[in-house]
Chain A
Amino acid sequence: PGLPWPIPAPVTSLLSLAVTSEQIEHLHRRFKQLSQDQLTIRKENFDSIPDLEFNPIRGKIVHAFFDKRNLRQASDGLADEINFEDFLTIMSYFRPIEMNMDEEQLDRFRKEKLKFLFHMYDSDHDGKITLQEYRNVVEELLSGNPHLEKESARSIADGAMMEAASICVGQMGPDQVYEGITFEDFLKVGDVSAHTKMHVRFLNVDTIAHCY
């Protein structure tokens, strides 16, 4: 069945590149399944996805859906619930790169994806990834290992942070304090083209033969 409302222009431009209207219909069905036929989704609705429990950064991923920075609504704050348009906005960060994109589009694309990840690290929304925030992420990613002591996770995070600092600021004097990784620094430190792996591809589907 066709979509019950017209999709607003900003969203279509986001999606025009790699998502067909059929795929939007699918996402809509998935949205309805998650929201249990309501118009909006809340954080609790993500609890109904068993496979997601596998994921060590599950909390951050769900959080990202409600982060107003990702929803392009504000520079700070969390939404309580999101509607389908917001859902599509978040999904648009995971569009695969198309062959027919030009330089400018590619660059914008890449920055958007990296910004999404930056927001995941920067949990207090102040525009910088501090040492504590970095430690949080590493601890979450490594939290599944019962043999790992907190100290090890910390030292890994500290080491990585120092390396980031040295790339961005160069050698620091003993009194200098590295405040945190800003987005520009993130672009330098975060692997530049690794963002190409950050996409989800739709299956190209034809009708499947049905035999008795």
Chain B
Amino acid sequence: MFLLLPFDSLVVNLLGISITVLFTLLLVFIIVPAIFGVSFGIRKVYMKTLLKIFQWATLRIERGAKEKNHPLYKPYVNGIIAKEPTSLEEEIKEIRRSGSGKALDTPEFELSDIFYFCRKGIETIMDDEVTKRFSAEELESWNLLSRTNYNFQYISLRLTVLWGLGVLIRYCFLLPLRIALAFTGISLLVTGTTVVGYLPNGRCKDFLSKHVHLMCYRICVRALTAIITYHDRENRPQNGGICVANHTSPIDVIILASDGYYAMVGQIHGGLMGVIQRAMVKACPHVWFERSEVKDRHLVARRLTEHVQDKSKLPILIFPEGTCINNTSVMMFKKGSFEIGATVYPVAIKYDPQFGDAFWNSSKYGMVTYLLRMMTSWAIVCSVWYLPPMTRQPEEDAVQFANRVKSAIARQGGLVDLLWDGGLKREKVKDAFKEEQQKLYSKMIVGSHEDRSRS
């Protein structure tokens, strides 16, 4: 016969009570408001408190570092080299002018021309524009996550305690809460859409499906403690349009879809994602492609065109960069979605890295690791701007249109507009780019050489 010690029973009771409290909290403060689209403003208060704590923490680090006389590592947003903004022609002229003082109107090859290319090469080796974009943006104040701080060893006891407390809260309280929420959200989505799928087609079905989707996305947003500010909501995408946004992480989908009704586009996956995708398409038409169909550009374009031409279908959500960028810049947009001829509704998403870095470096982290990192950050704070709709003008082609949209998004979000292809993260540079610089230089030399030999 076992005697349950009074201590053990006390522990069990406490456990039981805390779990019940947790679930009540969950239900009352999070899920119910999500269903009705109401917010208590708890997250905003949370955010303000965190900011104050971060500022204090940063001050402590700087003070501590000064006392110990260690140099602080300060991240440089603009790179470490002063790059001269002159063009190739100007530079080569200057190199020659400062050299032999020969007549400049007979440009020919000089031994010293190699100086320019050599220097440019060393500059890129020291500090490369493109690779910088692909590592997570570096922060200037510490947000109590050791993963973002390089000065970690210079902190005091008080700060270590605070950090430890932070770890405890994030991993033992926030993480289980968020996982429970995510689980609830996803299962509600799958069951809700399947149930709605049994209804006959009509207004009732559309209405219900929209709201089931919306409700579940809202729960997922709370599962990540995402604090989102929407601007210019009057420009939200309408049916028959294409919504285009810059891409930082898979979370972008949840952020946009919790404030509007969209049809998703994507490849069918296996596993849990596949289950979700198949359930969603029962309730309302999304555009899912088989793996083999993705390569066929004409098929893709045709299906997208069919979808946008049907005004009863929801606007399509597309991320034309094709890969996740670290949210400091916008890379080249692939032109496919701009050829279809529908109205484009650009959206700019900018994350505040202060609370948690949302960038998914897919070469560094897998999906599960990434989601865990997201769920153990303090919060995801971002701003979404809905830009006025754009259509392709008759005199521009798809690429120019894509660039115009991209510039608008970059300007609104305060991101740098880069011409580079986001696909560079994985592939090597296309040879066409390489040729530009060489062509320019050789035109300079050869053009004149031919002139001279002719005369």
- In the complex, what distance in Å separates the CA atom of A23 from the CA atom of B82? 13
A2 near B127 with CB under 8 A, answer: no
Which residues of chain B in 411-447 are interfacial with respect to chain A, using CB atoms and an 8 Å cutoff? 420, 424, 428-429, 433-439, 441-443, 445-446
B114 touches A50 (CB 8 A): no
| Contact across chains for B131 and A145 when beta carbons are under 8 A apart | no
A91 with B122, Cβ < 8 A, contacts A142-B441, A144-B441, A208-B140 known: yes
A54 vs B126: C-alpha distance when bound (angstroms): 15
Kindly supply a per-residue 1/0 record for chain B positions 79-121, scoring 1 wherever the CB is within 8 Å of any chain A CB and 0 otherwise: 1111000000001001110111000000011111111111111
Q: Which residue of B lies closest to A53 (CB)?
A: B429
Assess the B153–A145 pair: CB atoms within 8 A: no
Stretch binding the partner chain, chosen from B70-78, B176-184, B305-313, B384-392:
B70-78
A203–B126 touching, CB < 8 Å: no
B130 CB, nearest partner CB in chain A, Å: 4
Contact A145–B81 (Cβ < 8 Å): no
Chain B contact surface mostly? helix
- Per-residue interface assignment for chain A, residues 180 to 198, with 1 indicating a CB less than 8 Å from any chain B CB and 0 otherwise: 0000001001111111111
- Knowing A50-B131, A145-B439, the reply to whether A27 touches B114 (Cβ < 8 A) is no
CA distance A191 to B70 in the complex (A): 44
**A156 B115 Cβ-Cβ under 8 A:** no
Given contacts A55-B117, A203-B78, A205-B74, contact A191 B96 (CB under 8 A): yes
- A138–B110 CA distance with the chains assembled, in angstroms: 10
Measured between alpha carbons, how far is A56 from B206 in the docked complex, in Å?
A: 58
Q: How far is the CB of B146 from chain A (nearest CB, A)?
A: 13
Which residues of B sit under 8 angstroms from A197, Cβ to Cβ? Answer: 91, 94-95, 98, 115-116, 119
- Indicate whether B397 reaches chain A with its CB closer than 8 angstroms: no
CA A148 to CA B450, docked complex, whole Å: 11
The CA of A202 and the CA of B114, in the complex, are separated in Å by: 22
Taken together as a complex, chains A and B put the C-alpha atoms of A195 and B114 apart, in Å, by 11
Closest Cβ–Cβ distance, residue A52 to chain B (whole Å): 5
Kindly state whether residue B339 has any CB partner on chain A within 8 Å. Answer: no
Interface hits, A117-161 → B, CB 8 Å: 117, 120-121, 137-138, 141-146, 148, 152, 155-157, 159-160
Chain A: CB-nearest residue to B115: A198
Q: Is B150 in the interface zone, CB < 8 Å from A?
A: yes
- The answer, yes or no, to whether A199 is at the interface (CB within 8 Å) is yes
User: A194 near B442 (CB under 8 angstroms)?
Assistant: no
Q: A108 interface residue, CB < 8 Å from B?
A: no
- Smallest CB separation, A64 vs chain B (Å): 8
Is A81 at the interface (CB under 8 A from chain B)?
no
Question: Would you list which residues of chain B between 147 and 164 have a CB under 8 Å from chain A?
Answer: 150-151, 153
B446 touches which of A49, A50, A152 (Cβ 8 Å): A152
How close is B436's CB to chain A, nearest CB, in angstroms?
7
Q: Does B141 contact A (CB under 8 A)?
A: yes
Residue B129 is within 8 A (CB to CB) of chain A in the complex: yes
Partner of A144, one of B112, B114, B140, B437: B437
Q: Count how many pairs of residues, one from A and one from B, have CB atoms less than 8 Å apart in the complex.
A: 200
Most B CB within 10 A of own CB, among A33, A195, A198: A198
Residue of A nearest to B102 (CB): A191
Contacts of B433 in A (CB 8 A): 53-54
B442 cross-chain contacts in A, Cβ below 8 A: 141-145, 148
Bin chain A's interface residue count. 35 or more
Whole-angstrom distance between the Cβ of A49 and the nearest chain B Cβ: 5
With beta carbons under 8 angstroms apart, the residue of A55, A138, A203, A208 that contacts B79 is: A203
| Separation of A189 and B424 alpha carbons in the complex (Å) | 41
B233 close to chain A: CB less than 8 A = no
Min CB gap A163→B, angstroms:
9
Q: Indicate if A80 sits at the interface (CB-CB under 8 A).
A: no
Given A1-B150, A142-B441, CB of A117 within 8 Å of CB of B109 = no
Contacts of B140 in A (CB 8 A): 207-208, 210
A168 within 8 A of B: no
Indicate whether A138 sits within 8 Å of B71 (C-beta atoms), given known contacts A56-B117, A91-B126, A194-B96. no
Residue of B nearest to A140 (CB): B438
**Is B293's CB within 8 Å of the partner chain A?**
no
A16 at the interface (CB under 8 A from B): no
CB–CB B81/A194 < 8 A: no
In the assembled complex, which residues on chain B have CB atoms less than 8 Å from the CB atom of A23? 80
Instruction: Report how far A210 CA is from B70 CA in the complex, Å.
Output: 23
- Cβ of A14 to closest chain B Cβ, rounded Å: 15
The answer to whether A192 touches B99, judged by C-beta atoms less than 8 angstroms apart, is: yes
Which residue of chain A has the shortest Cβ distance to B91 in the bound complex? Answer: A197
Query: How many angstroms between the C-alpha atoms of A91 and B119 in the bound complex?
Result: 11
Q: In the complex, which of the residues A56, A138, A205 contacts B109, with contact meaning CB atoms closer than 8 Å?
A: A138
Q: Is A83 an interface residue (CB 8 A)?
A: no
| A196 with B112: CB separation less than 8 A | no
Query: Which residue of A25, A47, A54, A189 is within 8 Å of B111 (Cβ)?
Result: A189
Judge if A22 is at the interface, Cβ distance under 8 Å: yes
Map CB proximity to B onto A16-38 as digits: 1 under 8 Å, 0 otherwise. Answer: 00000111011100100110000
Cross-chain pairs A/B with CB under 8 angstroms, 5 sampled: A26-B76, A57-B121, A138-B109, A141-B113, A192-B100
Given contacts A50-B130, A55-B120, A205-B78, 15 further A-B contacts (CB under 8 A): A51-B124, A55-B117, A56-B438, A61-B121, A61-B125, A141-B114, A145-B438, A156-B445, A160-B108, A191-B95, A191-B111, A193-B98, A194-B115, A208-B77, A212-B51
A-B pairs with the 3 shortest C-beta distances? Answer: A144-B438, A191-B99, A145-B442
